[in-house]
C-alpha cells in the first residue's frame, strides 16, 4: 500500500541505503521477529489493506506481532531489507509460522482455501523442516545445503521406468542419462578422431582398430554406479533421509510416498521443494513407445545400436548422433524444421554442416508417422515411414535403432500439485515462480528444468538449490542469477556460447546498435593432421552504445566448453571489446582468437584464416 506523497519506501533509495553493518543488524531484527512469533504483520497504520488483514486475524482469535513501519524509526530501512528478503515492496507483508504469506490478497485467498488455517495450527509438529521431491542435481544440492544449516530434511526420489524398462539410481538425469554419460561417449568419439590424426604425427599401427560398444558402456555404467553410491553416502553423512519412493501431495503440507512394491507412507513438512526434472517426449505415433528408444535408454544399451535414425534437432539429438557416428555407426538425423532451436542459428547451421561433412546424413523437413518392427533382435530391424512437412511426399527407411530426441516434458502432472493449488502452465507443465523460486503456494518452491522461462541446465539447478536453502534456512539474501549462463553443445565439433544469440540480440537491441566481430580459425593441432582450415569459428556480439559490451559469445571449435567457461566469468564482470583487445592471448591456443578479433560482419571482409 502506498499513498500519494507517502511512497512505500518512505525515502529515496540513495538516502535510505544503510551501511552493510546496519543492514545486517536490521536483517537479524526482522528474522528474529519472524522466528519468534506465530504471526508477524509488517504494516502501516494508515493502510486500509493492512487494517483488513489485522481484522481477519482478530476475527480468528489469532494474536499477531504488528510492526507499523510508518511509526518505527527505522521503518524505511526495515521495508527496504524486507523487500530484499521477500521480493515484496508493499504492505501488508505477512508471515505465518515462519512462512511468507505475501500481502492482503494472498492472505485472504489462503483463508478461503483453508491454507491459512493449516498454517495457523498451534505447535504444528511436522515430520520434517524440508522435503525435497526429486533426487537430481538441484534437489540434492538444496537438501544437503539445508541439512548443513541444521534442518531436518528428506529427499524423495523415484525413477519411473522408461517404456523400454530402463531405470537408474540416485542423482537424476545429468549423472545417469545426461551430461555425464554423454560427455564420456563424446570422449570415446574424440579418441577415434585422435587415432585417425595420430598417423600424421608419426604413430604407426597396422592392426585394424575397432570400437567395442559393450566395453564402453560397461565402463561408463561402472563410473555412474560409483557416483550413485557417493550421493547416497553424502546424504547419509549429512543426516538427510533418503526414501526411494514416488512423492505425491495429498493435502497441504502432506505427501504420500509410494515405493516399488506399492506400499504407501505419509510424511509432513513445513516446506517443500519440487525438483522432479523432465523426461523425454514421445511422438504419439504408431510404434514409438513399443520400438523406439530415448536418451533414457541409450547410455546403458547392452548392445551396439547399429544403423541408427535419430529423430529431432535438439542438442540431445545432435550430441547423440555425433558420438554414435564418431564410434563408427551409420547415423541419420530426421529434422522437422531448424537445428538447435533457441541457439544462434548461424552457429547451429555450422554445427550441422560439420556433422554432415563427417558422415552424418540429414533428412530435412520430414516427420515420422509410423515405426514398424520388421525383425526382433539386439538390435532388430525397424521400418520408419515419414512424410514431408512441405508437401505430400512420403519416404521409408530401415534402421536397427530409432532414437527419439524431440524434447522433454516436465514431471509435474502426477504429483498432486492441483490438490494443494500449485499453479502450472497447462500447456508445458512448467511451474511459474517468482525470483526466489517460490510457487503460487507460499511454502512450496521449485527449482531446475521444471521452471517456466528458465534455463534447463544442471549447474543452474545446483546453484538455485543451494541459494534457495540458504535463503530459507540461513538468513541469506542472494538469488540465483539466470543471466549470461554459459553452456556447450558437445557435438563432434563443440559449440560453446554465453549471452545472447545474434537473433535475440537483434530483437532486443536492434541491428544498427550492434557490432558483430567474427573470424574463422585453424587450431594448430589440426594443421599437421590435415583437417579443414575454414571450419572453426569465433563470434562476439557487442552493444555499440554500451561501451561495446560483449552481450553474446559464440565459439565452434575443439574444447569449446573449457574455453567458454573462462570468458563467461569475464562477461559477468562486464567484458567489453576493448578489454578483450587489451588481453594478451596464450599462444598457440584456440581461446586466443578472441583477443585478436578485428573483422566485423558489417565490413563484409574475408575471415579465412591463413596462418597460425
> CATH no. for residue 458?
3.50.50.60
The DSSP bridge partners found for residue 334 are 311, 363
pLDDT of residue 27: 87
Residues 277, 430: Cα–Cα separation, whole Å: 10
Whether 270 and 416 map to the same domain: the answer is yes
pLDDT of residue 98: 86
pTM of the model: 0.85
Whether 263 and 148 map to the same domain: the answer is yes
Whether 231 and 272 map to the same domain: the answer is yes
Residues 215, 287: Cα–Cα separation, whole Å: 30
Whether 382 and 415 map to the same domain: the answer is no
pLDDT of residue 227: 97
Whether 168 and 185 map to the same domain: the answer is yes
The strand ranges marked E within 198-286 are: 241-243, 246-251, 254-258, 264-274, 278-280
Is 312:406 a contact under the CB 8 Å cutoff? yes
Local structure of 266: helix, strand or coil = strand
- Residue where a domain terminates, one of 73, 96, 120: 120
Residues 360, 544: Cα–Cα separation, whole Å: 39
Work out whether the CA dihedral 133, 139, 145, 148 comes out positive or negative. Answer: positive
Whether 535 and 419 map to the same domain: the answer is no
Give me the numbers of helices (H) and strands (E) for the chain, helices first please. Answer: 20, 26
Residues 420, 431: Cα–Cα separation, whole Å: 14
Task: Report the domain count for the chain.
Answer: 4
358 is catalytic: no
Pairing of strands 39-43, 549-556: unpaired
Question: Does residue 1 lie in a domain region?
Answer: no
Question: Does residue 59 lie in a domain region?
Answer: yes
pLDDT of residue 118: 79
Whether 467 and 512 map to the same domain: the answer is no
- With residue 160 as reference, give the H or E element that holds it: none
Whether 268 and 393 map to the same domain: the answer is no
Whole-number average pLDDT of the chain:
93
Active-site residue (options: 49, 253, 518, 587):
587
Question: Does residue 146 lie in a domain region?
Answer: yes
C-alpha cell at 487: 553452456
| φ and ψ at residue 156, rounded to 5 degrees | -105, 125
Scanning 409-522, the segments in alpha helix (DSSP H) are 417-420, 458-473, 502-509
Is 199:209 a contact under the CB 8 Å cutoff? no
pLDDT of residue 63: 85
pLDDT along the chain (612 residues), means of 10: 35 50 87 88 96 89 91 93 91 92 93 84 78 98 96 97 97 97 98 95 90 98 97 97 98 96 96 98 97 98 98 98 98 97 98 97 98 97 97 97 97 97 96 95 96 96 97 91 97 98 98 97 96 96 97 98 97 98 97 97 89 52
Residues 248, 264: Cα–Cα separation, whole Å: 11
For residue 134, the enclosing domain spans 128-280+409-474
Is 386:392 a contact under the CB 8 Å cutoff? no
Closest CA to 445 of 276, 280, 279: 276
Is 83:30 a contact under the CB 8 Å cutoff? no
pLDDT of residue 124: 59
C-alpha cell at 149: 544449516
| Count of C-beta atoms within a 10 Å radius of residue 192 | 18
Is 389:337 a contact under the CB 8 Å cutoff? yes
Residues 350, 331: Cα–Cα separation, whole Å: 18
Whether 147 and 98 map to the same domain: the answer is no
**Length of the chain, in residues:** 612
Amino acid at each position: 500500500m502506498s499513498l500519494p506523497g507517502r511512497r512505500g519506501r518512505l525515502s529515496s533509495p540513495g538516502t535510505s541505503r544503510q551501511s552493510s553493518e546496519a543492514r545486517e543488524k536490521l536483517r537479524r531484527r526482522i528474522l528474529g521477529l519472524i522466528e519468534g512469533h506465530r504471526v508477524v504483520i509488517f504494516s502501516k497504520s494508515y493502510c486500509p489493506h493492512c487494517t483488513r488483514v489485522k481484522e481477519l486475524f482478530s476475527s480468528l482469535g489469532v494474536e499477531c506481532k504488528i510492526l507499523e513501519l510508518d511509526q518505527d524509526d527505522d521503518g524505511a530501512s526495515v521495508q527496504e531489507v524486507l523487500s530484499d528478503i521477500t521480493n515484496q515492496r508493499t504492505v501488508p507483508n505477512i508471515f505465518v509460522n515462519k512462512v511468507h504469506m505475501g500481502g492482503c490478497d494472498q492472505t485472504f485467498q489462503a483463508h478461503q482455501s483453508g491454507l491459512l488455517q493449516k498454517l495457523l495450527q498451534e505447535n504444528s509438529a511436522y515430520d520434517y523442516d524440508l522435503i525435497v521431491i526429486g533426487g537430481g542435481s538441484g534437489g540434492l544440492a538444496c537438501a544437503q545445503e539445508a541439512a548443513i544449516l541444521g534442518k531436518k530434511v528428506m529427499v524423495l526420489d523415484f525413477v519411473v521406468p522408461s517404456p523400454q524398462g530402463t531405470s537408474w539410481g540416485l542423482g537424476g538425469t545429468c549423472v545417469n542419462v545426461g551430461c555425464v554419460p554423454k560427455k564420456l561417449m563424446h570422449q570415446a568419439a574424440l579418441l577415434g578422431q585422435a587415432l585417425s590424426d595420430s598417423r600424421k604425427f608419426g604413430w604407426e599401427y597396422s592392426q585394424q582398430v575397432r570400437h567395442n560398444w559393450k566395453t564402453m558402456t560397461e565402463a561408463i555404467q561402472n563410473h555412474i554406479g560409483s557416483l550413485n553410491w557417493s550421493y547416497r553416502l553424502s546424504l547419509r553423512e549429512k543426516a538427510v533421509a533418503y526414501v526411494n519412493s514416488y512423492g505425491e501431495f495429498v493435502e497441504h503440507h502432506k505427501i504420500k510416498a509410494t515405493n516399488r512394491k506399492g506400499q504407501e507412507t505419509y510424511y509432513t513438512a513445513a516446506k517443500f521443494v519440487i525438483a522432479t526434472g523432465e523426461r523425454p517426449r514421445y511422438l504419439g505415433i504408431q510404434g514409438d513407445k513399443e520400438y523406439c528408444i530415448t536418451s533414457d535408454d541409450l547410455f546403458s544399451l547392452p548392445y551396439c545400436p547399429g544403423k541408427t535414425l535419430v529423430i529431432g534437432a535438439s542438442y540431445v539429438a545432435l550430441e547423440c548422433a555425433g558420438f554414435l557416428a564418431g564410434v563408427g555407426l551409420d547415423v541419420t538425423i530426421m529434422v522437422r524444421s531448424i537445428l538447435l532451436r533457441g541457439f544462434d542459428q548461424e552457429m547451429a547451421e555450422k554445427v550441422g554442416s560439420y556433422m554432415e561433412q563427417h558422415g552424418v546424413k540429414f533428412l530435412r523437413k520430414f516427420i515420422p508417422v509410423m515405426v514398424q518392427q520388421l525383425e526382433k533382435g539386439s538390435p532388430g530391424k525397424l521400418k520408419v515411414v515419414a512424410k514431408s512437412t512441405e508437401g505430400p511426399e512420403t519416404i521409408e527407411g530401415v534402421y536397427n535403432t530409432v532414437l527419439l530426441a524431440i524434447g522433454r516434458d516436465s514431471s509435474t502432472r502426477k504429483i498432486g500439485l492441483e490438490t494443494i493449488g500449485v499453479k502450472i502452465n497447462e500447456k508445458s507443465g512448467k511451474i511459474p515462480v517468482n525470483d526466489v523460486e517460490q510457487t503460487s503456494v507460499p511454502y512450496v518452491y521449485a527449482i531446475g528444468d521444471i521452471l517456466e522461462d528458465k534455463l534447463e541446465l544442471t549447474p543452474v539447478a545446483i546453484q538455485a538449490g543451494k541459494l534457495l536453502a540458504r535463503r530459507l534456512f540461513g538468513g541469506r539474501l542472494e538469488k540465483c542469477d539466470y543471466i549470461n549462463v554459459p553452456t556447450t553443445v558437445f557435438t563432434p565439433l563443440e559449440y560453446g556460447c554465453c549471452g545472447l544469440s545474434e537473433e535475440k540480440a537483434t530483437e532486443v537491441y536492434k541491428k544498427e546498435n550492434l557490432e558483430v566481430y567474427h573470424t574463422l580459425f585453424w587450431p594448430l593441432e589440426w594443421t599437421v593432421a590435415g583437417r579443414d582450415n575454414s571450419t572453426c569459428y569465433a563470434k562476439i556480439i557487442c552493444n555499440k552504445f554500451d561501451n561495446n559490451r560483449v552481450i553474446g559469445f559464440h565459439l565452434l571449435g575443439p574444447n569449446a566448453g573449457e574455453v567458454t567457461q573462462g570468458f563467461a566469468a569475464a562477461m559477468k564482470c562486464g567484458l567489453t571489446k576493448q578489454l578483450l583487445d587489451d588481453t594478451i592471448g596464450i599462444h598457440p591456443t584456440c581461446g586466443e582468437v578472441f583477443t585478436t578479433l578485428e573483422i566485423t560482419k558489417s565490413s563484409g571482409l574475408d575471415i579465412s584464416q591463413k596462418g597460425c
